[in-house]
Amino acid sequence: MQAKKRYLILFSAGACLVLLLYLSGVQVPASKRNPNRRDDRSGHRPNSHWPHFTEPLQPFIPWDQTETEDYSAHTWPRQKRDVNSGVYKGKRCRMDSCFDFSLCGKDSFKVYVYPQQKGEKISESYQNILSSIEGSRFYTSDPGQACLFVLNLDTLDRDKLSPQYVHNLKTKIQNLSLWNNGRNHLIFNLYSGTWPDYTEDLGFDIGQAMLAKASTSTENFRPNFDVSIPLFSKDHPRTGGERGYLKYNSIPPFRKYTLVFKGKRYLTGIGSDTRNALYHVHNSEDVVLLTTCKHGKDWQKHKDARCDRDNAEYDRQVAFSCLSGVRSRITGAAKLTRKASGRYDYKEMLHNSTFCLVPRGRRLGSFRFLEALQVCPCPAEGLQFGASAHIPTGSDSIAVKSLGFSCELQVVLISKNLLTAAFWSRFQAACIPVVLSNGWELPFSEVIDWSAAAVIGDERLLLQIPSTVHTIHQDKILSLRQQTQFLWEAYFSSVEKIVLTTLEIIHDRVLQQLARSSLMWNRLPGGLFTLPHYSSYLGHFPFYFGPLGIRTLPKFTAVIHAVTPLVSQSQPILKLLAAVAKSQHCAQIVVLWNCDRPLPVKHRWPATSQSVIVIEGENKVMSSRFLPYGSIVTDAVLSLDEDTVLSTTEVDFAFIVWQSFPERIVGYPARSHFWDINKERWGYTSKWTNDYSMVLTGAAFYHRYYNYLYTNYLPASLKSMVDQLSNCEDILMNFLVSAVTKLPPIKVTQKKQYKETMMGQTSRASRWADPDHFAQRQTCMNKFASWFGTMPLVHSQMRLDPVLFKDQVSILRKKYRDIERL
């Protein structure tokens, strides 16, 4: 019995061993077989591991497709790899292997642009890129100081069928004296390859150069070396760009359409699969996906059975409306309407949809991506900046092209008086992109977390997209929608921002000790306004106090700008020193001496409870008041003109308010801007009204980081203009802070007069009485708006007063009781 068990165990073990060998694919030698005989079961020759086919496989052609219809006129995958390997000889390039860090200083990152050669044509888009680099803080005209080099040859469009294609580019690049096989060079490209396969062939050897490329694939993208940029049109603005149009969120955040798309359908060739299948999920109700075959010269030659139906749906007449209102702020009223009946309007669909489909085109990238991020405004939406417009009496229509619209708004005037009309939109914007482009390296994916702003789908799972977006919770929709607006305004609204983001990413690679964190890139105000040279600690920036749970220090530094010689003990500056020094929150006082006279001797300054540091201004210019002085050791800065009249109570209250809004300017003197439709320019007003957009820095608190940003971010041309005029520095600071925060400043208490009226008219401080002073400020407004590319100032009607301010209660119950007596 024991022997039988042993034989059974041995037999079982042997059977298991044979089965294991069979499943693991181990081949048993076949020495006794005929060496010339093919193994019918496996298809392998005896001593060969891989099959060998003498003829290539024939391409699959549908039964209703002839070989002459170019259905299969694609490059084979092996040919694609050969093409890519020929172009990207530096396929394995990384920063440590193909970049010379020795050309960059310890804390320096400069970019050199080759001078343009005579007779060399450059497209408008590439000229915008070069102009953005030359206007940036990274630009240098000395190649010896450069860390990165940019070509003067237009490499944006490398489609051989395009009229923008530059011929003989390979020879031209090789003749550049600084080319050095592309080392430390950056090449910009939007279109690569050509019909029918649109490979990523640029038509020349890029060597060891970095690529800033649109529609780049993850297969060819070199991580931490190349930069993926968005595909943008030739009409994309060079600077500024339109603001995002998410004005408010509705709860719940659902709209008329759930998912929309309107665009071309490719009948053959690459990029046709996904768009050809969209009709499967189109239901004409909440999912509207419209495609047309009417494009190209011979579309009728390739039209299929669905083309007529798709074209009819694409062109179907529907009714839609765009209504805006006009309200009078003096007398009378006006009404503005726009109604239309026409095709499915793409912009109107975007406005009224929660999600926008972004399928791939011929290339991986698509214009739809940026369109979905921003969502253009309804043509009759009104003034995008919330500014006022002066409408002359009797006008029945006004052209608003100068404000960014190409239509005319019909205005019905009820009053015969001059109306100051404010337009407001009843529409929301911001559409969440649903990306269907397998293998696409999303723009700036190295620093941007796209999972917080977009839905990334799989082309193979198209039928699951509607059910997927329907399951996204409304809280997530709100979050995604807000993030799209932030990303649009921070990185994509203009060519300049796209270029600067590209350079900042490379900057962070080169100077790794100064690299921005992911939080800096993905939260307001974004990486472009967060300069890492200032600090590597998030708590040193005013924007992150809330997310990090940081409270500001209960101290401030007062900076008094002095331009008048000290000749009397009754001068306003001495009264101001005494009032500020009495504040319980004052840490120190800095007097910036920008007077032509020498510094007063020490005993001329009054004795105060706080230390007074006197600094002689650099070159005695206006911009020196916003230099990042090392003497300023607190986060809060109280900026004061020498003739400002403030009490200690007013100083304390304004500081308490600033502690709740550390990223904004908080102060007393308020001013406003408006759009003058007659002169077609921005206007500046100091009239006492119920709204404002600026708080002047003659008596205001702000965070000291803005001194650093003013000095290192703004161009020298704007600061030179301020210095030459000795004017407008306060306006420029307001432009900067509003551009960063997208928020208005904050005015505190009802104080109309903040200047000493008894100043001598012969002093430099009498510039407020100069008749040219107001005209200069009007000019500054338009010059600043031109550089920013938009009007960053935001109107506000909020004023913060102390609790029980002017209430009919006992004065003993009020903490800031002295303010009411002023």
Active site residues: 730
Task: Give phi and psi for 441, each to the nearest 5.
Answer: -80, 110
Q: How far is CA 439 from CA 221, 230, 468, in A?
A: 10, 15, 20
Beta-carbon count within 10 A of 70 CB: 15
With a CB cutoff of 8 Å and minimum separation 6, the contacts of 348 are: 320, 322, 378
Phi-psi region of 332 (alpha: psi -120 to 50; beta: other; left: phi over 0): left
C-alpha to C-alpha distance for 812 and 808, rounded to whole angstroms: 12
C-alpha to C-alpha distance for 435 and 444, rounded to whole angstroms: 15
C-alpha to C-alpha distance for 126 and 495, rounded to whole angstroms: 10
Per the structure block, which two tokens stand in for 740?
A: 């960063």
C-alpha to C-alpha distance for 493 and 240, rounded to whole angstroms: 7
Q: Give long-range contacts, CB 8 A cutoff, 24+ apart: 757-761.
A: 759/564, 759/572, 759/643, 760/564
Partners of 246 in the β-ladder:
none
- Which 3 state secondary structure label does DSSP give 262? strand
Interior angle at CA 553, CA 550 and CA 557, nearest 5:
140
Beta-carbon count within 10 A of 312 CB: 10
C-alpha to C-alpha distance for 621 and 609, rounded to whole angstroms: 30
Asked if residues 650 and 663 have their Cβ atoms less than 8 Å apart, the reply is no
Partners of 217 in the β-ladder:
440
Asked if residues 665 and 701 have their Cβ atoms less than 8 Å apart, the reply is yes
With a CB cutoff of 8 Å and minimum separation 6, the contacts of 480 are: 432, 452, 453, 454, 455, 472
With a CB cutoff of 8 Å and minimum separation 6, the contacts of 589 are: 557, 558, 560, 577, 580, 581, 608, 610, 611, 612, 613
Instruction: Give, as one character, the DSSP assignment of residue 770.
Output: -
Q: How far is CA 434 from CA 345, 354, 400, 501, 634, in A?
A: 19, 10, 33, 23, 45
- Which 3 state secondary structure label does DSSP give 128? helix
